[in-house]
Amino acid sequence: MSTHSTTPGSSGAEASPSGSHARWPHVRADGTHAPSAEHVKAHPYGTPGARIPPEHTGPAIGAPAASATVAMSVGQLAMLTVVVVASLRSLPAMSLYGLGSVTLFIIPAIVFLVPTALVAAELATGWKGGVFTWVREAFGDRTGFVAIWLQWIQNVVWYPTQIAFIAASLSFVIGDQGLSNNGLYTAAVILILYWGSTLITLAGGNLFAKVGSWSGILGTLFPAVLLIAFGAIWLATGEKSDTSLEASAVIPPWTGIASIVLIVSNVLAYAGMEVNAVHANDLKNPGKGFPRSIAFATLLILLVFILPTIAISLAVPKSELGLTNGINLAFKEFFDHWGIAWGTPAISLLIALGAFASVVTWIAGPSRGLLAAARTGLLPPALQRRNKAGVQVGILGVQGAIVTLLALLFVLVPSGNTAFIALVDMAAALYLIMYILMFAAAIRLRKTKPDVVRTYRTPAMTFVAGVGLVACVTAFVLAFVRPSGFTGLSESAYPLVVAGVVVVLGGPPLLFYALRRPSWDRRTPEERASADIVLVNPLPSSGTGTSGTAGTAGTAGTAGTGGAPPPQPGTASG
């Protein structure tokens, strides 16, 4: 930008000595010239005559302001959602159904994925703090604590399933694919990789977090695209398909409830949409942009799930498919058929590294939310302990002990597939309870606190949340039914094992809440003073939203907030 010399105190109406503009009408308060609109980037909130939203005044032209890149685009949020949600781990289970997997992926996407995203977006743009705050504001401290505990503990159950998937991929790298069915080998890999990841986390390292997104692309999206390409080439060259390609095959065969129980794993595959809901505030126009982002993300996620699943079923016979090694078997079939056998260990290593990076990235994340709740006095001081790097060693220690015990399932249960699906059902059952609480909280908060300003409001909230609620309850019941074709646990023992784990892992928050003591509250005076600030868009006059007493949280601070001005795009939701 060119500069012009001026006389101190001169008015800005005089002609500029050079440049294409005859006048320089913008003057700062101190009398010096300010650049005209042509000399600055377009403001992210619109021009002075057309603000977005209209009530937003924005900074004066030429004043320091947010750059035009502050707001997240619809496409950026959609891609972020795909990277977080999409995973290859659930594909082998669905490939057993061939084209029927299309139906088994689409149904939970409609009744669970979309409602979760829309409902969580409204909650995230109204209240800070995630599921703990959302459920607490609706039902009180105890239920809120149960919700955040379940969100954490389901991740603890998820770690063995993800690392079992890594173990299967590593068996192809080693060159002994039979190891993927060896329970002792799988358990050993789980323990080594999990505790290795924990040690990295305890050191306060951020290495894998920095490369997590690239690992997700190279270890998840690239293999998915490669599978799609190989499947297309397989069909185009006239190779034999190991699954029916008739249109009627889109409807899965019905042989009883147990034949569709694997759909529960699809619910878990879509879990995590509530994490990205906090980014709704980062869109310029959340009301219009967020639904478009979710529609785009849902389409991409379905493509990442469905097309590679069909590609696996084309090349690998159902009798050979395993829940942990199905993807590797498909790549082996493709590579061996085309005479490039070296590609199997290479792509298997890439898949393993991508999955491992996701484990390291998530080791500490969910436990941070539990620690925040724990420090309010909901967990004993020993579980709130942090090391010099600020890492929550108390919670991570318990987390590691649980993972160690769950890893033994692969040794005790003869069938590795049964152990895998049992862990999936356990994680799903725990997570589904949390989602049931979240959907119920959204319905209640819309009725009890309608005046709280939400940057995004879910259309037909009762219906949308109701659909998600019914879907979660149905999937929760199915989690206790043993899938057809799995051995190692009897039909009567299987639900007892799942129920036992759910009670043992899901019950502690109720016990801790009953035993809590005032001395457990480890917050600083500053943290206590800010504890009531839970609204994303409080009234300027009141300054804060209050969480108040359990069961009536937020009432005092939310009255009259319906007249508050809409928040600025890009506002963080905390």
The Cα–Cα gap between 503 and 517 comes to 24
Residue 106 — φ and ψ, nearest 5°?
-70, -40
DSSP E strands in 249-381: the ranges are none
Using alpha carbons only, give the angle 134, 140, 141 rounded to the nearest 5 degrees. Answer: 90
Q: Which amino acid is at 24?
A: W
Residues 6+ apart with CB under 8 A from 358: 87, 162, 212, 215, 216, 219
Residue 128 DSSP one-character state = S
Sign for the CA dihedral angle at 204, 205, 206, 209 comes to negative
Q: Partners of 127 in the beta sheet?
A: 535
Residue 136: CB atoms within 10 Å? 28
Structural tokens at position 140 = 């009180």
What pLDDT is attached to residue 58?
47
Q: Which amino acid is at 62?
A: G
Q: What residues of the chain score a pLDDT lower than 70?
A: 1-70, 204-216, 255-265, 276, 278, 323, 364-365, 414-418, 484-488, 531-532, 539-574
Continuous H helices in 109-140: 114-124, 131-139
The Cα–Cα gap between 268 and 242 comes to 27
Q: Give the chain's largest Cα–Cα span.
A: 91
What pLDDT is attached to residue 428?
81
3-state helix, strand, coil in the chain (%, to 5): 65, 0, 35
Residues 264 and 424 sit within 8 Å (Cβ to Cβ)? yes
Q: How far is CA 10 from CA 19, 23, 33, 506, in A?
A: 19, 14, 9, 72
The Cα–Cα gap between 303 and 171 comes to 28
Residue 507 — φ and ψ, nearest 5°?
-85, -30
What pLDDT is attached to residue 564?
35
Residue 559: CB atoms within 10 Å? 13
The Cα–Cα gap between 152 and 370 comes to 7
Structural tokens at position 452 = 């709280």
Q: Which amino acid is at 454?
A: R
What pLDDT is attached to residue 32?
54
- pTM for this prediction: 0.74
How do residues 14-73 score in pLDDT, each as one tens digit?
444 444 444 445 555 545 555 555 555 555 555 555 555 555 544 444 334 434 445 778
Query: Quick one: which of 480, 445, 479, 448 has its CA closest to 465?
Result: 445
Residues 6+ apart with CB under 8 A from 208: 200, 215, 357, 360, 361
What pLDDT is attached to residue 14?
40
73: exposed, middle or buried (Cβ count in 10 Å: 0-12, 13-18, 19+) = middle
Chain CA centroid to CA 208, Å: 17
What pLDDT is attached to residue 404?
93
What pLDDT is attached to residue 310?
92
Q: Partners of 33 in the beta sheet?
A: 27
The Cα–Cα gap between 42 and 44 comes to 6
Continuous H helices in 53-98: 74-85, 91-95
Residue 378 DSSP one-character state = I
